[in-house]
Chain A
Amino acid sequence: MIMKKRVSVILAWILAGVGVLAFFLPWVRPAVQARETSPLEVANQLASGEDSFFDSWIGLRKDEWRVFWQRPTTGLSGYQILLLGSDEGIQAKQAQEWLDAVFGDRGGLGRLANVLPLVILLLTAAFLSPRKPLPRLFGAGGVLLLAFYLWGRWRLDGTYTQRVLAEMEIGYGLWITLYATLALAILAGLRFLNPKGKW
């Protein structure tokens, strides 16, 4: 029975691990052609295409897919963004201004939110581990994770225009964090609905 339950537990730990790893991968970075594009190109990008529900809440837009794997080592990771607040250096200040232009993060809430996925990922993995099922914890963890995923997508969707204007791209690290969170939310939800399931 324990062996059968390990599937979900192992999966939960893998997802939590991926989420943690993605925290150290690029989350945001300047576009390749930053400061060289004409405002008209920016206008053209904004005017092209309409967002569907899928684009906004589940998948990626075409231009986001296009840059997903590009320059995998370039950009600020979630961890670096977290450190920006305490760094007094000019480059850090510039980077912070750059993030402010997109996310309007002046109160530090955004930085706090960066830590949140880590905490939730670990918590959920812990919820999924006990031998004795704890359905309420699964439920609460699932809701928290889903809320974080939706909050992240809402934030990214709402700042798309700013990102285009500020010539900024979202790196694959942030996407992976979000999708790992969503997958964990689904897993926790399934365990909540079926706590005695043999998986």
Chain B
Amino acid sequence: MFRLLVFLGITLFGAVAPAWSELSHKVEKGETLFALSRKYGVSLKQIQEANPGLNPQNLKVGQTVRIPEPASPAKQAESPKPPGPAPVRPAAADNAGDVPKGAYRVQAGDTLSKIATKFGVTASQLRVWNDLPSDRIVLGRILRVAPPDAASAKGGNPAVAEADPAPVSAKQAEGDKKAARVAEPAKPVEARAEGQPKAPEYFFVSKVKSKIDGARVRKGRWKYIVVHHSGTRNGNLKIFDYYHRHRGMENGVAYHFVIGNGMDSGDGEIEVTNRWKKQLQGGHLASEELNEVALGICLVGDFNKTRPTRKQIAALVELIDYISRKTGPRPKFMVHREINPKPTDCPGKYFPAAAMHRLFDGRN
């Protein structure tokens, strides 16, 4: 009888414990509504709906914010999708069906070592294959769980080659896109140099060359190239665009370029925003005059806590070099804190600003 009661208790607790009840969060220093939405996997809209009257621009330390239950996959499918942004927290889905062979979608409760054990590989192999900077994994992310060589031997990339060619949903397309990113980490130059001319070539830029070249750049307009960090652990163009539009920026994301860190976009992946394509002024500095003449490049990450990845810096160097050739006289390299009229520590203490100045200052 006692055993039965214990069993029932455990079963009931197990059934109830994972259920997400509405909880509250006490705002800490430096937190934004956007950060909370990322932390709890709910959309900004949901948080705002749960907290009528909450001003996202004026969050106070110690203020209590109600965090609503995240919409279930079914609910999400029913509810109209906000324009633009990528899903804040991809719903955990069954791995079968929507993920190609050789890849695995991270489920709730998964750890890197659990996944490694499940697929008979090691956690460090998973880190290498997926370009992961640490053991932290994001719910819903698609990971490569087979070695790249095995995939190529089969005639392709496990994450993409065997994908269903039939039309896919937006969510699935997003998943596949992520899988493709996972499957194609930036290749080292040594590897790609074989059989190719040794002349320096743009690796990161080449993937978005047409987008960059498509803009009609007026020579001499851009006087500065200003580097920012996002101040967030992750993010990408879509997410920042959504956030900045929400903050009232009608042209969307404030920067001209966003460089990913491997979390929500590829490590070193350059994303070109409309502000570059349409040659609009930036929205990244606290001065209209400066925004008119300063290109903004945002590196995803909080560089007060972590260092930018090497690929991010490599992509940044390439990008500055490439766009400088298009803008006429090489714009002056600056970091946000050096040029912004208002004090800021952006792009963080770990951004190698001095070394970047050594590389670019004085070059024409």
> B10: shortest Cβ distance to chain A, in Å?
40
Q: Does A90 contact B (CB under 8 A)?
A: no
Complex Cα distance A163/B188, Å? 18
B201 touches A46 (CB 8 A): no
- Flag if A47 contacts B358 (CB, 8 Å): no
26 contacts across the A-B interface (CB closer than 8 A): A38-B200, A39-B318, A39-B321, A39-B360, A39-B363, A40-B321, A43-B203, A43-B313, A43-B318, A43-B321, A46-B314, A47-B311, A47-B314, A48-B189, A48-B191, A50-B188, A98-B358, A100-B354, A161-B307, A161-B313, A162-B355, A163-B355, A165-B317, A165-B352, A165-B355, A166-B355
Q: Is the CB of A161 within 8 A of B352?
A: yes
Q: How far is the CA of A107 from the CA of B178 in the complex (A)?
A: 44
Q: Quick one: given A46-B314, A100-B354, A165-B358, are A39 and B320 in contact (CB under 8 Å)?
A: yes
User: Is B315 in contact with chain A by the CB < 8 A criterion?
Assistant: yes
In the complex where A38-B200, A166-B355 touch, is A49 in contact with B188 (Cβ < 8 A)?
yes
Interface centre among A38, A101, A163 (most CB of B within 10 A): A101
Instruction: Count residues of chain B with CB under 8 A from any CB of chain A.
Output: 33
Q: Is the CB of B355 within 8 A of A161?
A: yes
Please name all residues of chain A whose beta carbon is closer than 8 Å to the beta carbon of B356 when the two chains form the complex: 165
Contact A43 B128 (CB under 8 A): no
Q: Which of A40, A42, A46, A162 contacts B202, CB < 8 Å? A: A40
CA distance A160 to B190 in the complex (A): 18
Q: How many A-B residue pairs have CB under 8 A?
A: 90
Q: Is A102 an interface residue (CB 8 A)?
A: yes
Q: Does B204 contact A (CB under 8 A)?
A: yes
Is B150 engaged at the interface, CB distance under 8 Å to the other chain? Answer: no
Question: In the complex, how many angstroms separate the beta carbon of A15 from the nearest chain B beta carbon?
Answer: 32
Closest to B357 in A: A101
Cα–Cα distance between A55 and B303 once the two chains are bound (Å): 23
Cβ proximity bits A33-58 to B, threshold 8 Å, 1 near / 0 not: 00000111111111111100000000
Given contacts A43-B318, A50-B128, A161-B310, contact A166 B268 (CB under 8 A): no
- The A-contacting residues of B in range 317-364, CB under 8 angstroms, are 317-318, 320-321, 350, 352, 354-360, 363
Q: What's the least CB distance linking A61 to chain B, in Å?
A: 11
* A197 is an interface residue with CB less than 8 A from chain B: no
Task: Assess whether A72 is interfacial by the CB under 8 Å rule.
Answer: no
Confirm or deny: A59 has a beta carbon within 8 angstroms of a beta carbon on chain B.
no
Asked whether any CB of chain B lies closer than 8 Å to the CB of A158, the reply is yes
